[in-house]
């Protein structure tokens, strides 16, 4: 893989002596226009890397908050085509912030993997996290993505032992996403001591940055996790902030975008307080 927006951004945050803040939002939640406004507001609020969830009707790894956000987006008419349209619209004003699409293989398979990858590359997508494609299926999507210069980011979990880890890391690029808890998103808080040991173990196998997610909700948690990790991923808390700003019919209000900006600003302050040794 050649240099990408993702590798450049992690190099920049490492040189600044801090972890990257990786923020997750579901594309199209609660509607296309509001979701695009949130997307455009994230870098200014302090997000270093943006993960966009591709709404899917059967999100097996997601907790209640992200499941509900996907259903809101689908109800509002979000599609894979509209998700890539959001990326194109974002790229009209931001050519530096990395965007990673996260989700499941079914919608991509329905589109056609090669056609999807061409469209994603043209839209300005930098990376993919596809949670239900194991390394044994790299020919399906991972290798074609890498051939187009799209980073394929793999998940490692607390149950990924040293025998399995090399397979997980093969063909992984951009960064490694360490899932800090067993289970679905947003249902428990990570143990910082265990996370630190896990990050150290993964780094014995790879020179890639390691970002930690699943369960990080507060600036304090982000700061603590960020003392060991190269990146801190926050998703469910941001999605919950969106939900908390909606009206009784789950429609956006004037508080929706500011609620996200405020939380991301707090999280950004947390990761910037997690000083690390400069690269």
Domain ranges of the chain: 5-272
Q: How confident is the prediction along the chain (279 residues), in pLDDT tens digits per residue?
A: 578 999 999 999 999 999 999 999 999 999 999 999 999 999 999 999 999 999 998 877 778 889 999 999 999 999 999 999 999 999 999 999 999 999 999 999 999 999 999 999 999 999 999 999 999 999 999 999 999 999 999 999 988 989 999 999 999 999 999 998 654 444 455 566 788 889 999 999 999 999 999 888 999 999 999 999 999 999 999 999 999 999 999 999 999 999 999 999 999 999 999 866 444
**Span 153-185, pLDDT tens digits:** 999 998 898 999 999 999 999 999 999 865 444
Give the pLDDT of residue 187: 47
155-156 and 49-53 as β-strands: parallel, antiparallel, unpaired?
Answer: unpaired
Choosing from 62, 126, 138, 228, which is the catalytic residue? Answer: 62
Burial class (CB in 10 A: 0-12, 13-18, 19+), 250: middle
Tell whether domain 5-272 is in CATH 3.40.50.150.
no
Instruction: Mark whether 139 is an active-site residue.
Output: no
Q: Which residues pair with 211 in a beta bridge?
A: 177, 231
Q: What does the alpha-carbon distance between residue 71 and residue 97 come to, in Å, rounded to a whole number?
A: 27
Q: Among all chains, which residue has been given the structure tokens 């972890």?
A: 19
Tokens of 50: 């943006």
Give the pLDDT of residue 214: 84
205-244 residues labelled b (16+ CB within 10 A) or e (exposed): ebebbbbbbbbbbebebbbbbbbbbbbbbbbbbbbbbbbe
Give the pLDDT of residue 196: 87
Tokens of 202: 């993964």
Choosing from 51, 138, 228, 230, which is the catalytic residue? Answer: 51
Instruction: Mark whether 114 is an active-site residue.
Output: no
């Amino acid at each position: 893989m050649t240099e990408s927006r993702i590798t450049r951004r992690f190099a920049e945050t490492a040189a600044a002596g801090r972890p990257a803040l990786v923020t997750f939002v579901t594309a199209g939640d609660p509607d296309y226009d509001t979701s695009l406004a949130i997307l455009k507001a994230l870098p200014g609020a302090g997000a270093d890397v943006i993960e966009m969830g591709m709404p899917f009707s059967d999100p097996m790894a997601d907790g209640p908050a992200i499941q509900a956000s996907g259903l809101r987006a689908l109800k509002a008419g979000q599609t894979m085509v509209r998700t890539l349209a959001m990326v194109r619209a974002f790229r009209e004003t931001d050519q530096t912030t990395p965007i990673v699409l996260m989700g499941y293989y079914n919608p991509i398979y329905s589109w056609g993997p090669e056609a999807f990858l061409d469209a994603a590359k043209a839209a300005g997508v930098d990376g993919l996290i596809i949670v239900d494609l194991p390394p044994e299926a790299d020919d399906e999507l991972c290798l074609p993505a890498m051939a187009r210069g799209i980073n394929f980011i793999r998940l490692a979990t607390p149950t990924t032992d040293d025998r399995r880890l090399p397979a997980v890391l093969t063909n992984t690029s951009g960064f490694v996403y360490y899932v800090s808890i067993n289970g679905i998103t947003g249902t428990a808080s990570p143990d910082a001591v265990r996370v630190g040991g896990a990050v150290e173990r993964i780094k014995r196998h790879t020179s890639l940055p390691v970002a930690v997610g699943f369960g990080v909700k507060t600036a304090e948690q982000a700061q603590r996790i960020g003392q060991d990790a190269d990146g801190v991923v926050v998703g469910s808390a941001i999605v919950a902030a969106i939900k908390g700003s909606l009206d009784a019919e789950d429609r956006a209000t004037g508080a929706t975008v500011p609620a996200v900006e405020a939380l991301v600003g707090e999280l950004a302050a947390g990761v910037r307080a997690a000083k690390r040794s400069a690269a």
